[in-house]
Chains A and B, each alone.
Chain A
Amino acid sequence: MAIEVRIPTILRTYTDGAKLVEGSGATLAEVLADLETRYTGIHERIVDEAGLRRFVNVYLNDEDVRFLDGINTAVADGDVVTVLPAVAGG
């Protein structure tokens, strides 16, 4: 299954500058593990022992996965995953 993953500028050092990469897996955790096999080091920039890193937001089709099932959120072919650092508004 192909899941499109959008990579923020700050993590593109791991993807040879690519903004968009493809991953496979049935859950977000599996997709991130799959990315790690090709983009060494990216996994620990997004996830730590507790789950998603504090200042990283991950969206599945624009919905924050923290309100779904976190890194265990199910993903399906054609889904878009967006990774972004947390920023201020206001």
Chain B
Amino acid sequence: MRFESLLDSVGHTPLIGLPRLSPSADVRLWAKMEDRNPTGSIKDRAALRMIEQAEADGLLRPGCTILEPTSGNTGISLAMAARLKGYRLVVVMPENTSIERRQLLHMYGASIHFSPAAGGSNEAVRVAKNMAAEHPDWVMLYQYGNPANSLAHYETTGPEILADLPTITHFVAGLGTTGTLMGTGRFLREHVPGVEIIAAEPRYGEVVYGLRNIDEGFIPELYDESVLTTRYSVAARDAVRRTRELLDLEGIFAGISTGGILHAALGTAAKAHKEGRKADIAFIVCDGGWKYLSTGAYEGTLDDAEDALDGELWA
């Protein structure tokens, strides 16, 4: 496939069958390989769509500074696009994120402002909102509430999956900003009667939930519960176990959040198999494992990996 530039090549990712992890010929799992995007994650879709919308709306002009709270992948995607389009980027990132994410952000020329580990991304959002108030000339794209985030998936991820898998019965993805699930989920619901939309949410170590008050919790503005069929919380141990199985059985080297999504997808597959239903289950491979090698998730026992990830924002 030929494209005019790197930005033009976002999306168009393959959908790959998993013959060994699928329970039977009637219940099949399909991996949407979002690690094949330009910076190696699904966030390229949302980042580019949000920037192009802000340009179309006249908010972003050459030389502008973009500000964004992100645990990593969105920041890396924005940094690449900002570099090519001539914007400055400031990301607010929790300090408990992997070293590789920082290295990539620095290489693309982004400035990183670290927020405290306790509170995780909630804290990054809070800090970024304060910085936005102090710098009214900066443009915060705000992935948690920007409709262009979910639109990217409504316009591209959803149609690509449906074109490759017209018999789809279930879609499983990670729940972070909720953009992937809201956009792809809405598109599929409009085109596939009875399709089930399943969220896999990472369950982090305790420090990440270190809020001062339970009413300080955070729900992304994009989130609409009615799009989902159900939602699972996946612990780091299960995510790591599935990440390793995906490599062992199907040869796919994915990031840890993908293991969490696969865990929910396998549960869905087992249920359909038990009930004797046919199912074609598509799930998202969010990124490759490269950015997480330093976390220790890919070596040693599951206990070692679980300990290493405690307190880390692994998804």
A interface vs B, CB < 8 Å?
8-11, 45, 53-57, 59, 62-64, 66-67, 82, 84-90
Contact = CB atoms under 8 A, between A and B. Distances in A.
Given A84-B209, A87-B120, A56 B214 contact: yes
Nearest to A68: B230
Nearest to A89: B176
Main secondary structure, interface of B, reads mixed
B232 A62 contact: yes
5 contacts: A10-B213, A56-B214, A89-B176, A89-B177, A90-B144
B315 A89 contact: yes
Given A59-B233, A63-B232, A67-B230, A90 B143 contact: yes
Contacts of B216: 55, 85
Contacts of B211: 10, 85, 87
Contact of B121 (A9, A62, A87): A87
B206 A9 contact: yes
A78 B219 CA distance: 30
A88 B234 contact: no
Interface in B219-273: 219-220, 225, 228-235
Nearest to A83: B214
Nearest to A67: B230
A25 B74 CA distance: 44
Given A87-B209, A88-B124, A90-B177, A64 B233 contact: yes
A55 B210 CA distance: 14
B102 to A, nearest CB: 17
Contact of B215 (A9, A55, A62, A88): A55
Interface string B108-145: 00000000000111101100000000000000000110
Nearest to A8: B209
Given A90-B71, A90-B121, 9 more contacts: A10-B210, A55-B214, A85-B211, A85-B216, A85-B217, A87-B121, A87-B208, A88-B125, A88-B177
A10 B119 CA distance: 11
A8 B217 CA distance: 13
Nearest to A9: B206
Nearest to A6: B203
B11 interface: no
B233 A62 contact: yes
Nearest to A56: B214
B120 to A, nearest CB: 6
B70 interface: yes
Contact of A9 (B122, B177, B209, B220): B209
B233 A55 contact: no
B201 A89 contact: yes
Contacts of A10: 209-214
A45 B120 CA distance: 21
Contacts of A57: 233
B230 A87 contact: no
B144 A66 contact: no
B232 A64 contact: yes
Given A8-B209, A90-B71, A84 B219 contact: no
A87 B94 CA distance: 13
B290 interface: no
Interface string B195-213: 0000001111010111111
Interface string B55-74: 00000000000000111011
The list of the 4 closest CB pairs from A to B, nearest first, reads A89-B176, A55-B217, A88-B121, A86-B217
A8 B216 CA distance: 14
Nearest to A19: B206
Nearest to A65: B231
A11 B213 CA distance: 9
Given A55-B214, A62-B233, A67-B228, A89 B209 contact: no
